[in-house]
């Protein structure tokens, strides 16, 4: 009852009451009564007196240092040294900051410590409950998740890295480097103190300054905004003063760069670079003074509205201040990179570890806008620690420079290194002309760059949902973060632009508002972000996926339409600049910054309509010959046409472009709903939820075309919460409504990938292209030197060996890739074995074990597992593609055998069990396909070649493993040939399952042999043998994970 009273109950409006002391006393009482040995406990519970009757503690955050939960000073007073202030009077705090200055002085002591033990003593030294360590270890999630977006961004990046981990659901129990994620700063400090290369006092001090003190300073700045917003500015503590104390410390001379303060550290970094006109420290002094004045203004606010407005203005200034603080991080990253590459004139003593430190401080910020580049950089710099040359230095620096926008900084802010030479890549801002090429569209005005970054808002929102920091996610939705509104000093937000201003789109918005039957399109994004109403009982990953889809197809869809009609109005009024600006905005918020400049955009990045169309064409295999969405190609072409009409005041023709783009976007909505409807099921509530979101996005358009179409969809797709109930029923009726809509809107059926226009009732688009019709084997075709005689005609499957030979013996990778992707003489391409796996094998245990073992990331747009930046369900295709991209044909050749074909055989074996269970004799045949694929996939030959190297002699014409596999395939075939009895018996079905399991075990043994041979041959073979070892590790290690040996799996995965 004490715990319940002081920690609250769930769910309610006050989950954590924060009565820590009485809870710990209650736990001590429990320890005593249960005779638990205090020495076994890792928390200091036993120091609390179980006989003390401590009253409940009411949390009051106003007197606590953010991130510590500890009172800064039992009785804070006005600063007694206001005449001198900080930095020799450059900043005069209004409150007592002595405690913080003492903490920063301890960093100087650590920098001069002779041993790690001495440094650790200063690190943990506490005064009034606060230490350098507690700046990290005492952070409270319930505070940081509401106030500091930057800290949560770092958490997301570190968790998302190769060093991050979580439970099997993809989000619970987040870890970094084997420790809880929240106090990541202390984890990094501990790693630095205990590193194998030994103790380095200056590096330890700098690490603490950045991961603990620099971070604590950001928390103080954002806490000031929270106090301003919540009306808590009348407390005796001023967080801006605390932030200033963290930056200046006890330093008094503004001209010295010696010492351990952040001010001195920034000065040293700046001395290595030229270009930033005012300098980081000068800009920091100006911004801290400005924020101090803003905070005072919050105290004088006349009411809640004025206070809220001032808080938003203050938040923009805090964001900019932190961007300035980021500049020295990037400068030191560049300096460290140059140092490890051997091209800097001033090398660091422990340069590898400095490279690690500054990578940890810079790379997580990139994860929000480009997770693939983040993963690549993390692997190269922190995991593989590749030897850097002038070439790799230039490539790495260019990747980081191109993503300065992710960090909120510019090339001019960072400046030019004094070590810069010919090999250094040029860093050029778009500031001279803020026009970013958008996937083939060239804007005419200077606003497109800013507006295109609205997709970074969405990316950050989704990251925060997955991190379970929903207050911060909601704040970005409502108040923005990446698109500056220069007219009022705030940001444009998604919530501020989705409400239309033009009459044409207002009519559509009214229809959104009028939807009933449990549908509420205007609030679905916010509900998903906040986890309320229909999303109250769903997981963070599902809420993130729902929010991603809703933001793109509802909020940003409306904003795109409204921007186009604003351009039309300005065109009619002969305001060319304004019309061009609105038209560029429409293109920017349809395509987005993350898609890049290349035609067709990115295959994986982006969060707007453009990316949804791309993903759908990949799902339905309906992309053009370059792998791009046909709809996207037309959208970009029409934006280009429309810009010409704007510039020549051809407003009628501009209306035609608007209509064309609107219709193309509606075609995406059709495919989107068709896709999620198709795969929604009782066991897949993710697709069911996304079908519900998709329906919300399209029903107003259906209703405008024909009300009965909208009524049908709303009746067939329903969601209720508490408990979650998601229903998608009568797919034929839904598809029929979509088909009628396509006809009414004159949407070109050739643009659709879902085959809504021509699909037979009840037929799946995937199955319609892939179902096998078995016929009898009348040709006498045999397998395995005549040892296996198929019952059905599988002669075409035997052609697989010719396809594989075409890959393995190709004269170049282009020819190999063509055979891999396009050759379908067996009825499908080898590539499609992997792409179709997520549909064909979605309920098969072994396939899902491989997906689970290999996934290294979670797609926050749909909650699915990712591997190397691509869907984990397509792991085989991803690995083969990497080999072909690297022009390593022999590795690609082996990949198709041990990944694609091997798993497709397993699928056929599982299908054979299913066919036997269904008991329809004319549908038997999968076991014959499995036998044929073992031979035509050249795995039979592989086993023959490997056997002698492991002492396996010939057994009646074949090696041991092949003999075991072929004999069991023959035994399995008997179950199907005896159509009258075997497959009708449940006992027999169990026997077939045992045989199939044994076949897979022997097939696995062949893979293990291949892995061992690759490792044995590696030291004395070509450099590509290392690729072979890695490939075979991907093929074998997931089987170890499937046995439950996760620790062994991760150990081997890291080594191999």
d(CA 831, CA 884): 12
Contact in structure between 358 and 329 (CB atoms under 8 Å): yes
Distance CA(906)–CA(902), nearest Å, equals 7
Instruction: Name every residue whose Cβ is closer than 8 Å to that of residue 125 and which is 6 or more positions away in sequence.
Output: 106, 131, 132
Output the furthest CA–CA distance in the chain (Å, rounded).
Answer: 102
Could you tell me which of 666, 665, 664, 724 has the C-alpha nearest to residue 692? 724
pLDDT at 611: 92
Pick out the chain residues at pLDDT < 70. 1-2, 4-22, 47-84, 276-278, 345-349, 384-386, 430-436, 516-518, 603-604, 681-684, 721-723, 759-772, 921-922, 977-982, 984-987, 1019-1023
The token pair that represents 891 in the structure block: 């590795």
The reply to whether the predicted model has a pTM over 0.85 is no
Hunting for tokens 């597992």 — which residue is that?
A: 865
Residue 420: predicted pLDDT: 83
Quote the CA–CA distance of 504 and 502 in Å, as a whole number. Answer: 6
> What are the residues whose beta carbons fall under 8 Å from the beta carbon of 774, sequence distance 6 or more?
792, 793, 922, 923, 924, 925
pLDDT at 783: 92
Whether the link from the prior residue into 936 is cis, omega within 30° of 0, is no
Return the bridge partners of 871, or none: 866
Cβ neighbour number for residue 194 with a 10 Å cutoff: 11
Nearest residue to 633 via CA among 588, 585, 579, 591:
591
The rounded radius of gyration (Å) of the Cα atoms in the chain is: 32
d(CA 232, CA 230): 6
What number of H helices and E strands is found in the chain? Answer: 49, 12
How, if at all, do strands 483-485 and 416-417 pair? Answer: unpaired
> Among 97, 105, 102, which residue's Cα sits nearest to residue 72?
97
Q: What is the per-residue pLDDT for 170? A: 74
Which residues 6+ apart lie within 8 Å of 535 measured at CB? 527, 528, 542, 543, 546, 689, 721
* C-alpha 524, offset from chain centre: 22
Write down the residue that tokens 């008997």 correspond to: 974
CA dist 671 → 408, 629, 832 (Å): 36, 12, 21
**Six-digit token string for 940:** 């039979």
Contact 911, 920 (CB under 8 A): no
Residues contacting 277, CB < 8 A, separation 6+: none
Q: φ, ψ for residue 865 (rounded to 5)?
A: -80, 145
Is there a cis peptide before residue 723, judged by omega within 30 degrees of 0? yes
Q: Which tens digit of pLDDT belongs to each residue from 647-662?
A: 999 999 999 999 999 9
Is the Cβ–Cβ distance between 496 and 487 less than 8 Å? no
DSSP string, 870-888: EEGGGHHHHHHHHHHHTT-
Using H for helix, E for strand and C for coil, what is the string for 423-473?
Answer: CCCCCCCCCCCCCCCECCECCCCCCHHHHHCHHHHHHHHHHHHHCCCHHHH
Check: CB of residue 452 under 8 Å from CB of residue 441.
no
Beta bridge partners of 438: 441
């Amino acid at each position: 009852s004490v715990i319940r009273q002081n920690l609250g109950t769930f769910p309610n409006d006050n989950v954590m009451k924060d009565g820590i002391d009485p809870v710990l006393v209650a736990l001590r009482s429990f320890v005593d009564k249960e005779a638990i040995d205090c020495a076994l406990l890792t928390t200091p519970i036993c120091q609390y007196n179980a006989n003390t009757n401590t009253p409940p503690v009411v949390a009051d955050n106003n007197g606590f240092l953010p991130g510590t939960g500890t009172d800064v000073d039992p009785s804070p007073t006005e600063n007694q040294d206001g005449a001198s202030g900080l930095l020799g009077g450059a900043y005069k705090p209004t409150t007592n900051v002595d405690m913080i200055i003492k903490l920063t002085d301890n960093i100087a002591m650590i920098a001069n410590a002779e041993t790690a033990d001495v440094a650790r003593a200063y690190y943990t030294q506490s005064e009034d409950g606060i230490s350098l360590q507690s700046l990290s270890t005492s952070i409270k999630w319930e505070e940081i998740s509401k106030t500091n977006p930057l800290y949560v961004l770092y958490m997301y990046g570190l968790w998302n890295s190769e060093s991050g981990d979580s439970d099997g659901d993809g989000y619970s129990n987040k870890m970094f480097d084997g420790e809880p994620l929240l106090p990541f700063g202390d984890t990094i400090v501990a790693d630095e103190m205990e590193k194998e290369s030994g103790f380095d006092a200056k590096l330890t001090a700098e690490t603490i300054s950045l991961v603990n003190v620099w971070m604590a300073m950001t928390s103080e700045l954002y806490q000031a905004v929270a106090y301003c917003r919540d009306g808590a500015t009348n407390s005796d503590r001023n967080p801006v003063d605390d932030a200033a104390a963290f930056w200046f410390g006890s330093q008094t001379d503004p001209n010295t760069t010696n010492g351990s303060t952040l001010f001195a550290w920034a000065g040293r970094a700046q001395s290595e670079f030229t270009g930033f006109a005012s300098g980081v420290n000068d800009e920091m002094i100006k911004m801290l003074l400005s924020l101090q004045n803003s905070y005072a203004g919050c105290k004088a606010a006349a009411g809640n509205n004025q206070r809220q407005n001032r808080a938003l203005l203050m938040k923009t200034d805090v964001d900019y201040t932190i961007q300035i603080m980021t500049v020295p991080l990037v400068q030191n990253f560049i300096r460290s990179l140059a140092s490890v590459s051997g091209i800097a004139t001033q090398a660091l003593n422990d340069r590898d570890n400095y490279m690690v430190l500054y990578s940890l401080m810079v790379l997580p910020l990139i994860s929000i806008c480009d997770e693939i580049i983040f993963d690549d950089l993390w692997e190269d710099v922190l995991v593989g620690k590749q030897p850097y040359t002038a070439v790799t230095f230039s490539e790495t620096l260019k990747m980081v420079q191109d993503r300065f926008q992710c960090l909120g900084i510019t090339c001019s802010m960072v400046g030019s290194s004094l070590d810069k030479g010919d090999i250094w890549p040029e860093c050029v801002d778009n500031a001279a002309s803020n026009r970013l090429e958008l996937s083939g569209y060239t804007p005419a005005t200077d606003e497109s760059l800013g507006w295109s970054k609205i997709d970074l808002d969405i990316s950050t929102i989704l990251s925060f949902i997955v991190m379970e920091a929903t207050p911060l996610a909601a704040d970005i939705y409502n108040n923005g973060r990446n698109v500056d509104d220069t007219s009022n000093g705030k940001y444009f937000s998604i919530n501020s632009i989705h409400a239309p201003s033009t009459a044409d789109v207002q009519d559509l918005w009214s229809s959104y508002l009028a939807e009933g039957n449990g549908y509420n399109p205007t609030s679905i994004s916010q509900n998903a972000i906040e986890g309320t109403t229909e999303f109250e009982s769903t997981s963070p990953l599902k809420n993130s996926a729902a929010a991603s889809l809703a933001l793109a197809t509802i909020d940003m869809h409306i904003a795109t339409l409204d921007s186009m009609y604003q351009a039309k109005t300005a065109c009619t009024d002969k305001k060319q600049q304004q019309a061009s600006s609105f038209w560029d905005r429409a293109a920017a918020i349809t395509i987005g910054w993350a898609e890049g400049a290349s035609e067709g955009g990115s295959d994986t990045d982006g969060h707007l309509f453009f990316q949804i169309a791309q993903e759908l064409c990949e799902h339905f295999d309906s992309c053009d010959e370059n792998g791009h969405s046909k709809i996207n190609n037309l959208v970009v072409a029409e934006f280009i046409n429309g810009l010409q009409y704007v510039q020549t005041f051809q407003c009628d023709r501009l209306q035609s472009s608007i209509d064309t783009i609107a219709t193309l976007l509606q075609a995406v909505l059709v495919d989107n709903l068709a896709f999620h409807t198709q795969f929604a099921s009782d066991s897949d509530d993710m697709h069911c939820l996304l079908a519900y979101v998709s329906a919300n996005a399209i029903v107003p358009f259906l209703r405008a075309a024909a009300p009965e179409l909208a009524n049908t969809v709303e009746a067939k797709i329903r969601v209720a919460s508490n408990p979650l109930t998601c229903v998608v029923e009568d797919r034929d009726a839904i598809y029929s409504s979509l088909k009628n809509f396509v006809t009414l809107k004159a949407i070109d059926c050739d643009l659709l990938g879902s085959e809504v226009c021509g699909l037979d009732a009840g037929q799946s688009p995937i199955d319609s292209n892939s179902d096998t019709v078995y016929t009898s084997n009348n040709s006498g075709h045999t397998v395995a030197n005549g040892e296996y005689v198929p019952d059905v005609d599988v002669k075409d499957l035997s052609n697989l060996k010719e396809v594989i030979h075409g890959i393995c013996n190709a004269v170049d990778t282009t020819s190999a890739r063509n055979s891999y992707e396009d050759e379908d003489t067996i009825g499908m391409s080898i590539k499609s074995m992997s792409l179709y796996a997520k549909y064909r094998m979605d309920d098969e245990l072994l396939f899902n074990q491989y997906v689970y073992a290999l996934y290294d990331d979670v797609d926050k747009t749909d909650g699915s597992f990712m591997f190397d930046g691509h869907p984990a369900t397509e792991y085989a295709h991803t690995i083969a593609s990497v080999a072909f991209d690297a022009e390593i044909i022999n590795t690609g050749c082996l990949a198709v055998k041990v990944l694609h074909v091997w798993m497709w055989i397993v699928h056929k074996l599982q299908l054979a069990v299913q066919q036997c269970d269904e008991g329809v004799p004319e549908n038997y045949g999968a076991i014959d396909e499995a036998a044929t694929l073992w031979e035509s996939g050249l795995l039979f030959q592989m086993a023959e070649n490997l056997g002698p190297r492991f002492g396996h002699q010939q057994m009646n014409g074949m090696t041991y493993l092949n003999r075991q596999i072929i004999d069991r395939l023959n035994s399995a075939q008997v179950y199907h040939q005896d159509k009258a009895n075997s497959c009708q018996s449940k006992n027999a079905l169990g026997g077939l399952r045992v045989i199939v399991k044994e076949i897979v075990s022997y097939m696995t043994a062949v893979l293990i042999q291949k892995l061992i041979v690759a490792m044995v041959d590696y030291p004395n073979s070509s450099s590509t043998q290392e690729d072979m070892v890695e490939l075979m590790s991907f093929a074998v290690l997931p089987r170890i994970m499937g046995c439950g040996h996760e620790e062994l799996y991760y150990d081997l995965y890291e080594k191999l």
